[in-house]
Amino acid sequence: MKNLLRSAYKHPFHLVNRSQLPFLAGIYAMLFTMNIVYYLHTSSIENIIRWNNFVFHIAAIGLTFVLISWFLMIVFESGKGYHTLPVQKGLKIGFWLFLISEAMLFFSFFWAFFHFKLNPSVAIGVCWPPKGIQLIDPYKIPLLNTILLLSSGFTATIAHRAILNVDYIWNPFRRFQFLNYLLCTIILGYIFLICQGIEYTFGINQNWMSNVYWSIFFLLTGFHGAHVIVGTLFLQFNFVRAWICRIIYIPNWIIHCIKPYIGIKNMVIDLSRYGFTTEQHLGLEAALYYWHFVDAVWILLYMIVYLS
């Protein structure tokens, strides 16, 4: 029997089972993208919500549940021991390639900005920004957002160092430090989003269809804001996982009182194998790297778009 089990595992890689999640994710993402394209052609959020209202809400809700299910499936695979060192290496390479693709996306946006800044056309008065545009004061809300994101990068680094300590598993203070600094990072991310919403609502009286300057401005800041939302939710998922996946023990006196009625002797719910350890915290590491990437993009955006 042991020889049969050994022959069944001849490689350290994880062969995933069949799943409908990639197909559903593609369908919902396509429907969601269609709604975004319709919004870009109408420049009104009310039109996109009114347009085929059922499709819009189904796409948004369905995509959210698919992503949550996908994340939970990866967590369960990790807890079952499928994420060996070669599997973790492959996941890291895949995530770094994803970050490179995101960097290329923002590079194309910055390229468009510099194209009009360094070579303004006659249609916009051969000057950049075009005449008649009232620029945003970079030392008000943009500076506050910069401080918020830099502070969140600092707290994220402390949380990462806390989990890298060898005493993370048995030291309650280390786990408390990790959870608190990770929570501070999430809160700072939400405050940044609130400040950017205030800037869009009260600080700018133009929309992305006004002229080429505001088109590139909203393209850069809007896509960055979307990445901040994704990064904040990514960190929040890891925070909930780290907080829940602990050993939950029911005291003996409670077991002694209720075991005659339920017929069991031991009541220990062990979720620790689905949590983080010093050696294995790939999901958290990916979220932190993504967050640092968002911080770096904002610093470039603040210096190039706001200060220039």
Question: Helices (DSSP H) in the chain: which residue ranges?
Answer: 2-8, 21-42, 45-50, 53-79, 85-118, 141-164, 172-198, 212-244, 252-262, 282-301
Confidence band, pLDDT 50/70/90 cuts, at residue 6: very low
Confidence band, pLDDT 50/70/90 cuts, at residue 123: confident
How deeply is 188 buried, as exposed, middle or buried, from its count of CB atoms within 10 A (0-12, 13-18, 19+)?
buried
Tokens standing for residue 69: 């299910």
Sign of CA pseudo-dihedral 203, 206, 208, 212: negative
Confidence band, pLDDT 50/70/90 cuts, at residue 46: low
- In this predicted model, what pLDDT tens digit does every residue of 260-272 receive, in sequence order? 544 554 545 556 6
Which pLDDT belongs to residue 95?
Answer: 92
Which pLDDT belongs to residue 3?
Answer: 42
Which of the two residues, 117 and 101, has the higher pLDDT score?
101
Pairwise CA distance, residues 153 & 235, whole Å: 12
Which pLDDT belongs to residue 280?
Answer: 76
Kindly tell me if the per-residue pLDDT of 292 is higher than 80.
Answer: yes
Confidence band, pLDDT 50/70/90 cuts, at residue 275: confident
Segments making up each domain of the chain, as ranges: 1-82, 135-306
- In this predicted model, what pLDDT tens digit does every residue of 124-160 receive, in sequence order? 777 888 877 788 888 999 999 999 999 999 999 999 8
Which pLDDT belongs to residue 272?
Answer: 65
Phi, psi torsion values for 93, nearest 5 degrees: -65, -45
Which of the two residues, 80 and 41, has the higher pLDDT score?
80
Kindly tell me if the per-residue pLDDT of 250 is higher than 70.
Answer: no
- What pTM does this model have? 0.82
- In this predicted model, what pLDDT tens digit does every residue of 47-70 receive, in sequence order? 545 555 677 788 888 888 888 888
Average pLDDT score over residue span 70-92 = 83
Kindly tell me if the per-residue pLDDT of 220 is higher than 50.
Answer: yes
Kindly tell me if the per-residue pLDDT of 32 is higher than 90.
Answer: no
CATH class of 135-306: mainly alpha
CATH of the structural domain 1-82, one choice from 1.25.10.10, 1.10.287.70, 3.40.50.2300, 2.40.50.100: 1.10.287.70
Q: Which one-letter amino acid corresponds to residue 237?
A: F
Nearest to 142 by CA among 305, 302, 25: 302
Most confident stretch, 99-103, 135-139, 236-240, 253-257: 99-103
Average pLDDT score over residue span 22-46 = 77
Cis peptide before 120 (omega within 30 of 0): no
Which pLDDT belongs to residue 7?
Answer: 43
Kindly tell me if the per-residue pLDDT of 258 is higher than 70.
Answer: no
Which pLDDT belongs to residue 4?
Answer: 39
- Mean pLDDT (the chain) is 81
Cross-strand bridge partners of residue 270:
247
Which pLDDT belongs to residue 256?
Answer: 60
